[in-house]
Every structure is written in structure tokens, then in C-alpha cells.
Structure 1
Amino acid sequence: MMDIKQIEVTVGEVCEGYFNDAEEGVVGYDERLDIRPRYQREFVYTGKQRDEVIRTVMKGLPLNVMYWCKTGDDSYEVLDGQQRTVSLCEYVDGSFSVDDMYFDNLPQDKREQILGYKLFVYVCDGTDSEKLDWFRIINIAGEKLTDQELRNAVYAGPWTSDAKRYFSKTGCPASQLAGDYLNGKTIRQEYLETAVSWAAAASGETIEAYMAKHQHDPSAVSLWNYFRSVIDWVQAIFPKYRKEMKGLPWGLFYNEHKDRTDLDPKVLESDVSRLMADEDVTKKSGVYEYLLTGKERCLSIRAFDDRMKRAAYERQGGVCPYCGQHFELSEMHADHIKPWAKGGPTTAENCQMLCRDCNLKKSDD
């Protein structure tokens, strides 16, 4: 059964021995408190949020309760409250000013007030699974954890720690190699989630299954090598970068098409250029998937407008040219006489109205 108790510690006590290093971690409370455990994110508070924490303490107003977990007889890790704790420690350490006043510039009584400010902390002691369950429960306010950050907690180990080195740090290798191709932020674990989801899909697994399988691997070099292979492949077949390439599921494309020998970069570039200039293509980011799969739906081809449909319907006398039957306009679908894929434009002259069944048959053909 988990044991939970409330304690009071001062800001000064928490800031004692404060140390913040990107590789070594973040500690305080005379080196007895791990402020950023391995499942926690990097600091994500904005300057405004950070400053409000300091102003709250300066005014003597209450901060929300914090949560720690026991890791030893007299050692702890922050379960919830990392952002507030780092804000306080960084201010006392002189890393930033609030209202143009650094900590050392404050009058002595103001400094003592801040250092003597009492933080209310709940400390829990229990099994790893109990701590993680509690962590999920209290993760209901402030800067909530993302799904991937929660996965990092559940599957914490050497593999996760090494994977974060590649994908989760500001200026990390993944950001330098492929920042132009990925959406999201490294410190919110979105690059890592993308990479793992691609690798998991390659072996038909969920993200959770993939991480569980690799949790105790000594390193994440296999994931990094896979990710590099994806980006190398993308840059080889589509050597000219365009902004529409950002955020596409390149790993899924790679998994399906990496062994194809018919992908000529010069031909593909010519096709990309042509489709990007085509006014009928309304979804430019879909060009790349279309060229790999041939699925026109990826492009959201410009539809015939109501005027074009009415003109074609009247011209045909309401008769479907395929089956010869008469239909109401509402029962018919607009179709390219000369297929769009063969250069047929979306114009009134190239529009015909087909009944639903004939249109589906033509699409299947």
C-alpha cells in the first residue's frame, strides 16, 4: 500500500546544492532531490509562466502543492512540480530577472522572504507501478505530459534514455538531420514519438509494444540508424526540398516503398514540379504520396462546380452516356471525360455527368 505524507520545505532548502546540466541532470535539496527524473521533459515554461511563479512567491501567495516520490531513505524525485521548482532555483541562482530585478539585486529582507517561503509537498512511497499510477492521476493541471512522455515513464530504462539523447534534446541529432521534415517539438517528445511510430509500423507493432521490447536494450542506436535510413531515402528520391514535405509520414512511405527500383529522382522531380504548378491540385502536400502510390485522392483534385455540372447535365439531356438511362441531376456524379491523370482539365468542356453506378465502375477500371 502506498504511503503518502505531507511535508514543508523552504525555497532555500530546495535551492541548496542546485545543479542543472543537460547531460548530468537537475538536482537540488542538497543533492537529495532529483528535479528532472528520466521520464520528465525538459524545461518548457515560457518566460511569462516562469516569472509568474517568482511573483507569486514574492507576494507570499500560495503555489499549488507539489509531489515527490521517495527513492531512498533520504532521497527523492519530483513527480509533479518540476517547472515551478526549476523556475525558483534558476531565479535564486541568478539565471534571469523578474521586473528588471535579479535575486542578488533584491533587498536583503526580500531575499530572505523568498528563501524562507514554504513549499507544501506530498511525498509518496510505494512500488514503481503505484508511483506511475499516481503520476497519471495528478497529471491533470499545468503543462500536461504528452502520450510519449507518459510512455517514457512506463518504459524507462537505458534504451529510453539513449533514445532521448538522439530525439528529445534541444539541438539533438534528429533536429539537425531532419528538422525540416518533422512536425512538433523535440522537448515534448514529438520527434521521438514519430520515429518510434515509424519503426514500430515497420514490424507491425504498436509504439507500446516496440518500446517494451527494447526497454532494456543498452542503446537506441538501431532506432537512430533506422531513422537515418528513412531520411537518406527521402533525400535521395526527392532531392529538392519543398515546405510541403514537412510533417509527412516519411517513415511509413519508406517502409512500403524502400525496395522499389522504379523511383527515378529526375522523373519524380519533374512530376513534383508539374503537379505543384497544376491549379487542379488543391492539396500540394499530397503530391509525394500520389507519386508513390498513384492514389488521386491524395491530391484533392479541384471539383467541377455547380455551373459546370448543370451545363453538362443539360447538354446530355439528363442521360448517362455509359448506360443510356435518364437520371435527375442529384442522382449523377461529375466526371472528367479525359481523365485528369492523362492531362484532362477540370473545365466545363471536359465535364460529363455519370450515374452513380457507372461512375463507380469507371473509377474501378
Structure 2
Amino acid sequence: MKIELRKVKISELTREYEDHGEVGVRGFGGKLNIRPAYQREFVYSGKQRNAVIETVRKLFPLNTMYWASSGDDYELMDGQQRTISICQYVSGDFSVLIDGSPKSFHNLAANQQQQILDYELSVYVCDGSDSEKLDWFKIINIAGVELSNQELRNAIYTGPWLADAKRWFSRHNPPAVQEGRDKLVNGSPIRQDILETALDWLSTGKIEQYMDAHQQDADADELWQYWQAVFAWVKRVFPNQDSARVRLMKGLPWGRFYNAHKDDKLNAAELERRIVYLIEDDEVESKKGIYAYLLSGNEKTLNLRGFDEKTKQAVYARQKGICPVCAKRFEFQQMEADHVIPWHRGGRTSAGNCQMLCMPDNRMKGGK
């Protein structure tokens, strides 16, 4: 692999700069692909973007950028955020404060404009195989903002499948987070969180294997149809999605629930009745765990209220340290509090419903 250091003036970088959104962003006389398929969207804040322009104006050194040769053209590997910041400013897309007043590039004096256009960027140009360039990309990362795991995967498995998947799951406000789905999932489409979530659910955690197998597929229809099926099922099974419920539902692993329970015979009205009951039950400390409990029956998801230390000490004294199961005496630290009548049969976390069991008997009871 050959790597060469070049000096590129801003006037050269911004020549024929065009931003066509999802279609692509190009500069350097149309020869530089500023946003290749594996690159992130523009994520710099206004403060970071303005700092780039301030650095250029004061002739301070800007961090080195990295391009990869692609035939007669180039792909930008590292430095997209700084590159787009510069190109947008020269194109007049935003202003920065200069001497207390907002100034766009076109409002600068001629000598100030020329100073910016003459600024030289340090660019390493890499020429090698695709695998070498992608390995290099993983190493250098994105200066200033670390790549997420999914963004790194996108660098490795770039191809027609990824390009189509990003149409559904990435960009600004993609279809994947429309129609209320954004209320139920966490993360940013721009940072590839939604794409990662969809892949995690469909592949049951084997994201790399799935992307490798489908890298050259013409489209990502399977993933998009799966995503729609998951949320259609959620809407059918749990139709009450008002603002209070959404706070409990947001961020739950709906795809994993769908995978395990999509064929279960679930009655939405009965589930709603039980949700209301569980929300009102002060024994249930994890209200977000209600949905997992109703589907799996695992009480641990509810984080049921436990006996406090005062109650445990009082019951231990009442029993004189004797375990009621094996009738043997134990030290306090060798025993655990247990519900005489379990929660699912109406038992409450009260002193009258507490017994102290030795650890072996309590663990044996819990395992039944």
C-alpha cells in the first residue's frame, strides 16, 4: 500500500462542491467522494463546525485528513466532518462570529476570503486494495468523534445491500423511525443505532455474519419487512401506546420478543388488564419489566420488592434462627428471606408473610 502526503488548498477542495444529500457529496472538482457508502452522516455540532472555520481563519494547523485513491478519483476516508464544515462555509451555508458579528464567507473582505481559500490542508492519499484501505480506515477512525460499532461494520461490509439498508434505517428521519416507531426504540439513525438494532434482532446477535452473507444482495428488503412485522405485532398485542405507556415501552427488545412470541395466542384486552394491575402493584419495582414478564412469565424482570433488613432481623429472632424446612439452626448471614405465600399467588412483602430459610432450602425452593 502506498501513502503520499499532499498539500491541498481550500480553493481546490471546494471547487465544484455539491451536496445531494442521500445521493452523495462531492468536491475537489468533482473528483473527491466526500461521503462514501461506509461513512457517517454529518454529525458535527454548530460549535465544532465553527471551531473548524476559526482554526482556518487564524491559520492554525488543522488535523491531517486521509483520502483513498479510487481510479482517477478519490474517496475521503477520514476528515468528513471538517471537510463538509469548510465546504459549507465557503458555499455560504452558515455564518460564524467575527469581531462580535455573524459573517458568512460572502460577507468577508476580499483579502479575508483569499486567506481562507489559500489555506493548505495536509492530506494523506492512500493507494492500495479495498481490504487494505478499509483496514486503514478502521485504524485511523474519525478524528474527534469515535466510530460506533455499527459504523465500523459499515466500513467492512460496504456494498449494494448496505446502500439500500441505509435508505430505510439511516439518514435523517428514515422510514424505520416513522409512524410512531421512534417512540419505542432508542438511538440515532445518523449514528447507525437503528440499523444496528434491526440487525441484532433479525440475526439474533450475529450481525457480522448476516452482513457478510448479504453484502452483495441487491436490496435490504428482508430486513425492512422484518422491522415492519415486528412493530405491526407490537401494535396488535399492545395497542395502548399513549405517552405514559411509551415511557415503559421505549427501548425494550421488541424484536427479541417478536422472535420468541410471534406465534403465541395473545389476547390484547387481557394483556391490557394485567398491565394496569401490575402498574398499580407497589410490589413491582420495575414497571418496564412488565412487558417481558407478561410474555415470558419470568418474575425477575419485575424486580419485586424485597424484605428490608429490619423485617428480616425480626423474623430471624422470632424463629430463633431455626429454618422451618430442615429444622436446623443457622446464623443470620446463612439465611435468606422468603415469601410464605409467593407474590404470584397474592402474597405481599410484609412481616407476616416472611420466613427465614437456610440458603440451601431457599435456593432449592427458588429452583422449583
Indicate the TM-score class for this superposition, using the shorter chain for normalisation.
over 0.9
Deviation of the 1:149 alpha carbon: 0.9
The code of the aligned residue for 1:119 comes to L
Which one of the candidate residues 123, 127, 130 is aligned to 2:129? 127
Deviation of the 1:154 alpha carbon: 0.9
Equivalence map 1:318-337=2 (5 Å): 318-337=321-340
Maintained 8 Å contact 2:40/2:190: yes
Deviations 1:125-158 (A, max 9, x none): 0000100111111116411211111111111111
Paired residue secondary structure (2:69):
strand
Partner of 2:20: 21
Equivalence map 1:218-257=2 (5 Å): 218-241=218-241, 242=245, 243-257=247-261
Partner of 1:344: 347
Deviations 1:269-323 (A, max 9, x none): 1111121222222211111111111111111111110001011111212111112
CA 1:194/1:47 → structure 2, altered by over 3 Å: closer, same or farther?
same
Equivalence map 1:43-62=2 (5 Å): 43-62=42-61
Structure 1 runs of 4+ with >2 Å offset: none
The code of the aligned residue for 1:238 comes to F
Deviation of the 1:21 alpha carbon: 1.6
The code of the aligned residue for 2:323 comes to C
CA distance in 2, matches of 1:278, 1:30: 66
Q: Where in structure 1 are there 5+ consecutive unaligned residues?
A: none
CA distance in 2, matches of 1:225, 1:347: 49
CA distance in 2, matches of 1:4, 1:174: 40
Query: TM-score scaled by structure 2?
Result: 0.96
Deviation of the 1:351 alpha carbon: 1.1
Paired residue secondary structure (1:352):
strand
Deviation of the 1:161 alpha carbon: 0.4
CA distance in 1, matches of 2:332, 2:142: 53
Which one of the candidate residues 263, 266, 285 is aligned to 1:282? 285
Partner of 1:111: 113
Q: Where in structure 2 are there 5+ consecutive unaligned residues?
A: none
Paired residue secondary structure (1:279):
coil
> Across the two proteins, how many residue pairs are aligned to each other?
359
Maintained 8 Å contact 2:78/2:143: no
Paired residue secondary structure (1:345):
coil
Maintained 8 Å contact 2:32/2:75: yes
Partner of 2:357: 354
Partner of 1:212: 212
Deviations 1:245-264 (A, max 9, x none): 11111111111111111x11
The code of the aligned residue for 2:171 comes to K
Maintained 8 Å contact 2:78/2:142: no
The code of the aligned residue for 1:285 comes to K
Maintained 8 Å contact 2:138/2:155: no
Partner of 1:80: 78
The code of the aligned residue for 2:250 comes to K
Maintained 8 Å contact 2:261/2:295: yes
Deviation of the 1:120 alpha carbon: 0.6
RMSD over aligned CA atoms reads 1.1
**Comparing 24-33 and 143-152, the one that deviates more:** 143-152
Deviation of the 1:9 alpha carbon: 0.8
Deviation of the 1:15 alpha carbon: 0.6
Q: Percent identity?
A: 52
